[in-house]
Chains A and B, each alone.
Chain A
């Protein structure tokens, strides 16, 4: 199993550009999440999904869109990149339920100029 994969690993954007961060998992996990990690701060939840076709907002959803058309894939779209979105982005998945061990992707380091 590849686990959780993310692409790209690094990305530099100009303000106003759009892009999609890809996330896929091959563990048949229902739950998938996107987090951002900023220096000195804990992980902050952007959006999450509890199954194909179902998504919801997390703590910091503004400026981001998600969709979940399949169980495996959960892309994160930046609609119009801003310098405040410079961060490291992690995708995670888990089986669901209360005892939800999280599996993380390797992260995408995004810089917005």
Chain B
């Protein structure tokens, strides 16, 4: 079983829909990251959070440390949100050398 699991693997929705992508993890963490990768493009950090909720524009990230679960929400989705969304965690163990554990990504397609 992977230490970081994302669901769904693929998601297709219509423009304007509310989108939720989930990330579950099985290790103790100090922080959780959400990143975005557009087709053929580079990888950009969206959020880094260790508790509660963060918002940036139409993107909202939440984390529940007790349940080891995080969600990424997109409100009023738009075709330009089409991308792969990647969850990664920073393990809290000292010997991790601060290397992240990566999820496999969720491919999101928003149709006009």
Contact = CB atoms under 8 A, between A and B. Distances in A.
Given A41-B104, A106-B42, A98 B90 contact: yes
B44 A42 contact: no
Interface residues on B, range: 20 to 34
A103 B90 CA distance: 15
Contact of A99 (B4, B31, B104): B31
B55 to A, nearest CB: 17
A96 B100 CA distance: 12
A101 B45 contact: yes
Interface residues of A, number: 27
B29 to A, nearest CB: 9
A99 B41 CA distance: 24
Contact of A100 (B41, B43, B90, B102): B90
B97 A50 contact: yes
Interface in A43-83: 43-45, 48, 50, 56, 58
27 contacts: A33-B99, A41-B104, A42-B86, A42-B102, A42-B104, A43-B102, A48-B97, A48-B99, A50-B97, A56-B97, A90-B43, A92-B43, A94-B98, A98-B30, A98-B92, A99-B30, A99-B48, A99-B50, A100-B90, A100-B100, A102-B33, A102-B45, A102-B100, A104-B43, A104-B45, A106-B42, A107-B42
Given A101-B33, A101-B45, 7 more contacts: A92-B43, A97-B98, A98-B90, A102-B33, A102-B43, A103-B45, A107-B43
